[in-house]
Amino acid sequence: MTKGQVIKCKAAVAWEPGKPLCIEDVEVAPPKDHEVRIKISASGVCHTDWAYLYEASRGMYPRPFPLVLGHEGAGVVESVGEGVTKFSPGDKVIPLFLPQCGECERCLSPKTNLCKKNWQNTQMGVLADGTSRISCKGQQVYQFIGVGSFCQYTVVADTSVTKIREDAPLDTVCLLGCGVSTGYGAALNTAKVEPGSTCAVIGLGAVGLATVMGCKVAGATRIIGVDINPDKFEKAKEFGATEFVNPKEHSRPIQEVLVDMTDGGVDYALECVGNVTVMRAALEATKDAWGVCVIVGWTETEEMSLVVEDLLLGRTLKGTYFGGWKSVESVPKLVDDYMNKKLKLDEFVTHTVNLDQINEAFDLLTSGKSIRTVVKLMEILQPSGQR
Ligand code: NAD
Ligand code: ZN
Ligand code: ZN
């Protein structure tokens, strides 16, 4: 029984920006009121984790260090704080960087998923009382966007976690905590891709591939995958891409190539890179009368330029946060879709590593060799022996 006690365990700690993660012994305090302590089984490594460590000065709001990164985790509830009614020890859960409190103006509106409960504090890596539950060598370690899943245990607000079915394999459904849900929802919820349409998905990492999957499910006829790394094309074909463009093979801007290929522009262009030049290219690749451009790639402070006429003529420019899904209610449904073989997840996992190899996961990501690397944190045995 660990309830009420400080748990000593391992975590990958980012001591400062630009430096590799260090595996450390950390202490995880018990959950306070309306908090849940989770034993993390596995966590995917998202581009956003890497970006906050290695590109913190480019386009991101500063975050305090030392920091435990990771926001694509899955695990089992270890204990709950006072006032927690929806979770019990042993529940399988996915922690969420985007909450759904169910009560605020935004949660009550069908127009958005952007619940801002605990927003200010989680953006700064702390829970509602202004502190983190993780410490190392007597120092507070911040929890990236309120999660911090590169730690064997973490504590989150009870509005930033969702319960999933018992038979879900944690080392794959963890991907629904960010990348796959984001891309899939970008196509379905944000772009609202229509049957018979033509789409361009720029950037074919996990987020882009999930976007391709969403475009296919929505019934798009042509799905043009764009990436500077042609190694991504084969996988994108499995997910439903019908044609490919490598910008490096063209002397002209990519938007011109796409406009020519589609007789005036695509119906939907989804930017899954996080580069403002590519974002503009995505907008300009859409058809003037009704084209929709969705920004999925992440950058917070950079400016993007565009020609006003491109909007005047009828294009729409939108962004998506977590694919537009209302997190607590949608993630368990996405888990069901995966279990019912309506949604692919296994195909995203190209590598699995132990916590002490976590820096290799970043190397695999930046070299373009991986789609998603899943980091194993804690062995969680089920009665059936299934993990
Ligand atoms: P990734 O690194 O696995 O994939 C990015 C892909 O883009 C790579 O295949 C790379 O070769 C390709 N690329 C790079 N430059 C390009 C260019 N100029 N033209 C075409 N392709 C190019 O990353 P990921 O984990 O799939 O994440 C993609 C983006 O989505 C990141 O910016 C990430 O931070 C962001 N993201 C956003 C949300 C959200 O809620 N909006 C959630 C998760 C991730
Ligand atoms: Zn992410
Ligand atoms: Zn809310």
Cα dihedral: 56, 57, 62, 65 (round 10): 50
User: Of all atoms in ligand 1, which is nearest to the CA of residue 299?
Assistant: 32
Q: Is the CB of 178 under 6 A from ligand 1?
A: yes
Residue with tokens 């980091």: 375
Structure tokens at 229: 């790394």
Structure tokens at 354: 């132990």
Q: Is the CB of 343 under 6 A from ligand 1?
A: no
CA 159 – ligand 3 centroid, Å: 8
Identity of residue 155 = V
User: Of all atoms in ligand 1, which is nearest to the CA of residue 98?
Assistant: 40
**Cβ-contact 313, 289 below 8 angstroms:** yes
Sheet harboring 22-28: ordered strands across?
7-13, 22-28, 134-136, 139-143, 67-68
N-term to C-term CA, the chain: 21
The whole-angstrom separation of Cα 291 and Cα 281 is 13
The pLDDT value recorded for residue 365 is: 97
CA 302 – ligand 1 centroid, Å: 16
User: Of all atoms in ligand 1, which is nearest to the CA of residue 372?
Assistant: 3
pLDDT in tens, 12-59: 999 999 999 999 999 999 999 999 999 999 999 999 999 999 988 888
pLDDT in tens, 117-135: 999 999 999 999 999 999 9
The whole-angstrom separation of Cα 7 and Cα 3 is 9
> What is the pTM (predicted TM-score) of this model?
0.97
The whole-angstrom separation of Cα 345 and Cα 19 is 31
Which of 115, 213, 272 maximizes ligand 1 atoms within 8 Å of its Cβ, making it the mutation to test the pocket?
Answer: 272
User: Of all atoms in ligand 1, which is nearest to the CA of residue 321?
Assistant: 40
pLDDT at 340 over 90: yes
Q: Is the CB of 275 under 6 A from ligand 1?
A: yes
Q: Is the CB of 205 under 6 A from ligand 1?
A: yes
